[in-house]
């Protein structure tokens, strides 16, 4: 997939290791701040770029995709067997190929989050201390079983078949939910998602808050990145942890002041453009045959997943 | 603290969506009454600010760095009801756009971090502070508001995880969602937040409060509101 995102947005800043030498620290927290801000801006650009392409899924009405998202995420949360979860995963993989997404970067993100939130968080439950069952991989053998208050530690500690099944289920569920939501996000622009939510009777006031907030997160993320870069460029060597804390607190307070000032400017701009208490977000276009057909197919496949 | 998809059963996430919805509606009504049409950009800016707080990594004693959730300081600066909307919008954007927190878990995450945490933090700040304007007492109040707010939010999250093996099991008794029983989920969530994340939250809340108290005193809702009520 051709990428039009400028290279400077995709390159990661250099990462400096921390040094705890005598209460002084290197500036890794500044690097982390730059990285965090850059990542948010990059995510926004990449999503916008893939969602704006002229491909099959990008052309489907956002309402169909938002209903698809909610329906399939509920299916994923209701299914309790590995085969169904694997089949849903394969289906989303096929959809992402059809949608011409960059499979490598798409699944890199999905697998990274699923590994942390799905696998790592659930992994200890595979042990027979948490999930009782048939041990298929013994890890430790204690001299005797122990009883500590309400906790029981068996003589043999190992991974159980039931535990591994549970961890696999959670990891797959997490992976499927993430891939479905990222798939919709990569094929639908944010304003279209908002219009689709309006069609689902979410109040205009709430949608307007979300829309404005979303836009200003990117603007302020750039300001945060610039502040960190400015600090980094003025630093030679190390700074004390106390100075680091003061600097970060001062910058957050500065951001607060800036957001409140911007709020007044926006209010004036909105009033000058005729904004009144009656908030109106214009609805989406009429659904065409392509939308109805793809919606019906996705619904049918979803029903099959639900009943297998 | 962000609960991903797959850990909570529908028996948990559906009621939590409803509870959060009640708080969102009440908060929007209260905002509208107090702030008229100005509330839209104001809430949007507050949400953006809530999001931005998490982008600042702050050096904490011991040599490491961490970032805060920020619900406590937002409740002190803007009031608890504004914090409900601001942090909720920030969490919704995080879940939909950045994949941080599950979509089915939006209600639960909003309840924990945008309802429980701001209100607890705000109450703790006011209770510990009393009527005092002493800088030391205000600083302690700010630290405790962040610390206790996050720890209690973690406790609620622990309960949500811990009830899963009790309310959602298969025919063979196997847990279908979060596999950790209450005896594991609750201590794990509470202790890690009491010993580490809560301290970070407390320090960030204290640092920001100290800065605002020194430079932008009038912007602190928790102080100006109490002064106005005197």
A249-253 contacts, C-beta under 8 A, 24 or more apart: A249/B58, A249/B204, A249/B207, A249/B208, A249/B210, A249/B211, A250/B211, A251/A224, A251/A227, A251/B56, A252/B52, A252/B53, A252/B56, A252/B208, A252/B211, A253/B208, A253/B211, A253/B212, A253/B215, A253/B216
Coil/strand/helix, residue B175: strand
Task: Label each residue of A268-304 as H, E or C.
Answer: HHHHHCCCCCCCCCCCCCCCCHHHHHHHHHHHHHHHH
CA distances (Å), origin B127, targets B120, B138, B145, B202 = 10, 11, 10, 16
- Interchain CB distance below 8 Å, B56 and A80: no
Q: Which of A248, A250, A273 to mutate to test the interface with B (most CBs of B within 10 A)?
A: A248
Q: Quick check: A116 pLDDT over 50? A: yes
Characterize A182-193 residue by residue with b for buried, 16 or more Cβ atoms within 10 angstroms of its Cβ, and e for exposed. bbbbbbbbbebb
Region B77-90: what's the mean pLDDT?
A: 88
Q: Which residue bears the tokens 């800036």? A: A258
- Higher-pLDDT residue of B110 and A102 is B110
| Least confident among A105-114, A211-220, B28-37, B105-114 | B28-37
**Range B36-58 average pLDDT:** 72
pLDDT of residue A254: 79
Q: Mean pLDDT over residues B101-118, rounded?
A: 91
Residue B230: what pLDDT? 47
Tell me, rounded to whole angstroms, the distance of Cα B101 from its chain centroid. 14
Task: Give yes or no for a contact between A216 and A261, defined as CB atoms under 8 angstroms apart.
Answer: no
Looking at the complex, report in whole angstroms how far the Cα of residue B103 sits from the nearest Cα belonging to chain A: 8
CA dist A81 and A85 (Å) reads: 7
Residue A265 has pLDDT above 80, yes or no: no
* Yes or no, beta carbons of A177 and B5 under 8 Å apart: yes
What pLDDT shows up at residue A17? 46
Q: Rounded to whole angstroms, what are the CA distances from B130 to A172, A266, B78, B140? A: 50, 37, 19, 12
State what percent of residues in chain B have pLDDT above 70: 88
Please give the DSSP secondary-structure letter assigned to residue A127. Answer: B
Angstroms from A308 CA to nearest CA on chain B: 17
Q: What are phi and psi of A177, to 5 degrees?
A: -60, -45
pLDDT in tens, A51-99: 677 777 778 888 888 899 999 999 998 888 889 999 999 999 999 888 8
DSSP state of B169: B
Q: What mean pLDDT comes out for the span B52-58?
A: 68
How much of chain A exceeds pLDDT 90, in percent?
Answer: 11
- The three-class DSSP label of residue B56 is coil
Average confidence score pLDDT of chain A: 78
**pLDDT value at residue B56:** 66
Q: Could B49 and A255 be called an inter-chain contact, meaning their C-beta atoms sit closer than 8 Å?
A: yes
Answer whether residue A185 shows pLDDT above 50.
yes
Distance CA A231, CA A212 (A): 28
- C-alpha to C-alpha distance for A180 and B47, rounded to whole angstroms: 25
Tell me: the pLDDT tens digits for B171-216? 777 888 888 889 888 888 888 888 888 888 898 888 888 888 887 7
Supply the pLDDT for residue B29: 81
Name the least confident of B74-78, B202-206, B222-226. Answer: B222-226
Give the residue among A38, A40, A14, A10 at the shortest CA–CA distance from A26.
A14
Identify the residue with better confidence: B214 or A111: A111
Helices B80-98, A204-234: crossing angle, 10 deg rounding? 80
Q: How far apart are CA A217 and CA A46, in angstroms?
A: 16
C-alpha closest to that of B108 among B168, B157, B175: B157
Helix axes B71-78, B39-53, angle to 10 degrees: 150
Q: Which chain B residues are Cβ-neighbours of A78 within 8 angstroms?
A: 10
Which residue in chain A has the smallest CA separation from B44?
A213
Using the CB atoms, write b or e for B45-76: b if 16+ within 10 Å.
bbbbbbbbbbbbbbbbeeebbbbbbbbbbbbb
Beta-carbon separation of A210 and B42 below 8 A: no
What is the Cα–Cα distance from B230 to B228, expressed in whole angstroms?
6
Ranges of each domain in chain A? 24-52+189-277, 62-187+287-308
CATH number for the segment(s) B10-223: 1.10.1760.20
Q: Of A21, A251, A248, which is closest to residue B59 (Cα–Cα)? A: A248
Instruction: Please state, rounded to an integer, the average pLDDT across all residues of chain B.
Output: 83
Distance of alpha carbon B211 from alpha carbon A119, whole angstroms: 40
At residue B12, does pLDDT exceed 80?
A: yes
Tell me if B59 and A29 make a contact (CB, 8 A cut-off).
Answer: yes
Confidence at A45, pLDDT banded by 50, 70, 90: low
* More confident position, B162 or A195: B162
Nearest to B57 among A29, A259, A270 (CB): A29
Q: How far apart are CA B153 and CA B148, in angstroms?
A: 8
- The pLDDT score that the predictor gives to residue A279 is 59
Whose tokens are 């879940």? That residue is B95
The count of other CB atoms within 10 Å of the CB of residue B41 is 26
Report the pLDDT value the prediction gives residue B31, as an integer from 0 to 100.
72
Per-residue pLDDT tens for A205-254? 778 788 888 887 877 777 777 777 787 777 776 677 777 777 777 777 77
State the pLDDT at residue A36. Answer: 67
Could you give the maximum distance between any two Cα atoms of chain A, in Å? Answer: 79
What per-residue string of b and e applies to A232-251 under the rule 16 or more CB within 10 Å gives b?
A: beeeeeebebeebbbbbbeb
Distances (CA, A) of A217 to A34, A286, B33, B50, B123: 15, 31, 26, 10, 29
Give me the pLDDT at residue B150, please: 92
Q: Cα–Cα distances in Å, from B56 out to A11, A28, A104, B82?
A: 20, 12, 29, 22
DSSP B4: P
Q: How many angstroms separate the CA of residue B230 from the nearest CA in chain A?
A: 26
Q: Is the pLDDT of residue B168 over 80?
A: yes
Question: Is A256 in contact with B102 (Cβ distance < 8 A)?
Answer: no
- pLDDT range class, residue A15, cuts 50, 70, 90: very low
Beta carbons of A102 and A118 less than 8 angstroms apart: no
How many other CB atoms are there within 10 angstroms of residue A215's CB atom? 16
Pick the more confident residue, A229 or B106. Answer: B106
Contact A151 B183 (CB under 8 A): yes
pLDDT range class, residue A204, cuts 50, 70, 90: confident
Dihedral sign (CA A220, A222, A228, A234): negative
Tokens of A229: 């870069």
Under the banding of pLDDT at 50, 70 and 90, the label for residue B110 is very high
- pLDDT confidence of A194, banded at 50, 70, 90? confident
Nearest to A223 by CA among A190, A189, A257, A246: A257
Q: Is the pLDDT of residue A2 over 60?
A: no
Residue of B nearest to A275 (CA): B37
Structure token digits, residue A124: 């200890």
């Amino acid at each position: 997939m051709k990428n039009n995102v400028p290279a400077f947005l995709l390159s990661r800043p250099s990462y400096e290791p921390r040094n705890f030498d005598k209460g002084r620290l290197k500036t890794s927290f500044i690097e982390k701040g730059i990285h965090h801000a850059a990542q948010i801006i990059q995510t926004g650009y990449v999503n916008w770029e893939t969602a704006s392409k002229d491909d099959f899924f990008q052309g489907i009405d956002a309402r169909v995709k938002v209903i698809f998202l909610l329906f399939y995420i509920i299916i994923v949360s209701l299914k309790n067997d590995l085969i169904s979860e694997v089949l849903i995963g394969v289906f989303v993989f096929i959809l992402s190929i059809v949608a011409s997404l960059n499979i490598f970067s798409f699944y890199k993100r999905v697998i990274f989050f699923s590994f942390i939130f799905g696998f790592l968080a659930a992994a200890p439950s595979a042990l027979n201390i948490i999930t009782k069952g048939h041990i298929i991989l013994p890890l430790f053998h204690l001299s005797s079983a122990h009883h500590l208050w309400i906790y029981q530690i068996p003589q043999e500690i190992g991974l159980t078949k039931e535990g591994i099944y549970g961890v696999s289920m959670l990891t797959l569920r997490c992976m499927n939910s993430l891939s479905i939501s990222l798939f919709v996000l990569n094929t639908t622009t944010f304003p279209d998602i908002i219009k689709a939510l309006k069609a689902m009777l979410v109040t205009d006031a709430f949608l307007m808050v979300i829309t404005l907030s979303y836009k200003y997160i990117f603007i302020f993320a750039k300001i945060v990145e610039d502040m960190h870069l400015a600090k980094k460029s003025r630093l030679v060597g190390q700074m004390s942890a106390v100075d680091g804390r003061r600097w970060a607190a001062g910058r957050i307070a500065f951001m607060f002041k800036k957001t409140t000032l911007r709020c007044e400017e926006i209010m004036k701009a909105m009033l000058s453009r005729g904004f009144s208490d009656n908030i109106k977000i214009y609805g989406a276009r009429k659904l065409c045959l392509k939308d109805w057909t793809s919606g019906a197919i996705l619904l049918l496949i979803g029903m099959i997943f639900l009943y297998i | 603290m962000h609960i991903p998809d797959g850990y909570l059963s529908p028996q948990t996430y559906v009621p939590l969506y409803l509870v959060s919805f009640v708080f969102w509606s009440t908060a929007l009504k209260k905002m509208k009454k107090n702030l008229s049409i100005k509330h839209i950009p104001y809430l949007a800016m507050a949400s953006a600010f809530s999001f931005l707080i998490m982008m600042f990594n702050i050096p904490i004693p011991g040599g490491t760095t961490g970032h805060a959730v920020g619900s406590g300081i937002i409740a002190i600066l803007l009031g608890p009801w504004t914090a409900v909307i601001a942090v909720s919008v920030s969490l919704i954007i995080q879940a939909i756009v950045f994949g941080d927190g599950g979509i089915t878990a939006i209600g639960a995450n909003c309840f924990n971090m945008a309802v429980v945490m701001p209100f607890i933090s705000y109450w703790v700040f006011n209770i510990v502070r009393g009527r005092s304007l002493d800088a030391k007492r205000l600083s302690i109040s700010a630290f405790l508001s962040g610390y206790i707010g996050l720890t209690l939010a973690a406790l609620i999250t622990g309960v949500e995880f811990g009830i899963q093996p009790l309310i959602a099991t298969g025919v063979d008794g196997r847990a279908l969602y979060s596999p950790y029983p209450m005896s594991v989920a609750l201590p794990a969530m509470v202790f890690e937040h009491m010993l580490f994340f809560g301290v970070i939250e407390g320090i960030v809340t204290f640092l920001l409060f100290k800065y605002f108290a020194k430079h932008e005193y009038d912007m602190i809702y928790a102080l100006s509101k109490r002064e106005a009520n005197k």
